Amino acid sequence: MEEAWVSSVWERLLSKIDGMKNELQHKSPHTTVNGVYDDMRLDWWTSGFWPGILWIVYDMTKDESYREAAWGWDERIEQCFVKPSNLHHDVGFQFLPTAVIKYKLTNDEDGCRRGLAAANFLAGRFNPAGKFLRAWNQEMRGWSIIDSMMNLSILFWAAEQTGDPRFRHIATAHADTVLRCFARGDGTVCHIASFDPETGAFIEALGGQGYAPDSAWSRGQAWALYGLANAYRYTGEQRYLRAAQLVAHYFLAALPEDGVPPWDFRVPAAETEPKDTSAAACAASGMLEIAASLPEQEACLYRNGAVRMLRALADGYATWDEPEQQGILRGGTGNKPAGQNVNVSLIYGDYFFTEAIAKLKGWENRIF
């Protein structure tokens, strides 16, 4: 039953992605406006997701047209290193689904070089006094954010690729700071932790893209559970898996009846607030990662939770028969407190939905 359902969703995904491939061409999609994807600047954190979709579909189908469409993206994004740009900690999001996966699938040496350059850039953002990765630029020298958990994979990959453990030391030091300063005993995490960049002392949690400092921004919970599961996969350290499970338990317990989270689980009157389908898609893919690390009798909780969310997305939010909608999932929320990109398609929602369905279909290479 599940297998037939997965295959039918995969087929519909392929037809949707084929349409995107024809229409998007060289555009770097981020969010839809009236159903049409924008063309975002390449230093924006989302520039890797569309090529990531293309690489996954290439890996699954071996159809050369996807490889050709994906091929040039790491070189294009690399230009942000040599021109004025606002690249920051999200180079993992940008170079894992482009340069690193390209190298893994095709052995392309330039892909490897670009992936390592991105890893070095991220490692250079480590604050040794506070043991955290600096997130953003400008004046935000002491701010670290939960999203960085997803960027750690490029450091773990670089450690394996070069044999240099410094990359892994930095990734685990940051992950341990997340356990200490972001994670709460109830299985939730804050979005931003602010530190004194001189002394490294933790100052306070901030609400960021969530409703409040002590709320539970749903995509932030997804970044945490998925990133922690990855940290376990790379290190074998049980504390990361246990923490990932705890966040997943909160996520599943807080999920409304319809299987798709509000943009923040703790916003007042959450049932009347916009959904965030990207949080559901990312959490589903992360829960499949948790499941893959556990024996079957423990794994099924996370696998069933993932399938529940993916079914809710496929049945209630996918734009299967709407060619005028370029995005795959509607109902994404980018940044509600800033009033940006609410109830739209988001390329990262489309990416993690595709990735999760590919995992259910047996895709074994990993981007994150």
Nearer to ligand GLY, 143 or 363 (CB): 143
Among candidate residues 90, 264, 276, 350, the one labeled active-site is 90
Q: Which of 45, 95, 156, 232 binds ligand GLY (CB under 6 A)?
A: 45
Residue closest to 251 by CA, chosen among 287, 277, 275, 227: 287
Contact between 73 and 98 (Cβ < 8 Å): yes
Which of residues 91 and 360 has its CB atom nearest to ligand GLY in the complex?
Answer: 91
Query: What's the half-sphere exposure (Cβ side, CA atoms, 13 Å) at 1?
Result: 2
Q: Pick the closer one to ligand GLY by CB: 98 or 209.
A: 209
Determine whether 276 is an active site residue: no
**Secondary structure E strands in the chain:** 32-33, 36-37, 126-127, 132-133, 143-145, 192-195, 202-206, 332-335, 340-344
Q: Pick the binder of ligand GLY from 43, 59, 74, 147 (CB under 6 A).
A: 147
The torsion of the CA quartet 341, 347, 348, 352, rounded to 10 degrees, works out to 130
In the complex, residue closest to ligand GLY by CB: 147
Question: 190-209: which residues touch ligand GLY (CB under 6 A)?
Answer: 209
Active site residue 90: yes
Binders in 208-227 for ligand GLY, by CB under 6 A: 209, 219
Cα(111)–Cα(118) distance, rounded to whole angstroms? 11
Q: Taking the complex as a whole, how short is the minimal distance between the CB of residue 341 and ligand GLY, in angstroms?
A: 9
Using the rule CB under 6 A, is 28 a contact of ligand GLY? no
To ligand GLY, the closest distance from the beta carbon of 296 in angstroms equals 32
Q: Which residue has the tokens 């259910």?
A: 360
Helices 2-24 + 64-71 axis angle, to 10? 50
Catalytic residue among 147, 264, 276, 350: 147
Tell me the closest approach of the beta carbon of residue 209 to ligand GLY, in angstroms. 6
Please give the structure tokens belonging to residue 74. 């790491």
In angstroms, the CA 53 to CA 353 distance is 10
- Residue ranges that bind ligand GLY, judged by CB under 6 A: 45, 147, 209, 219, 334
Catalogue the active-site residues: 90, 147
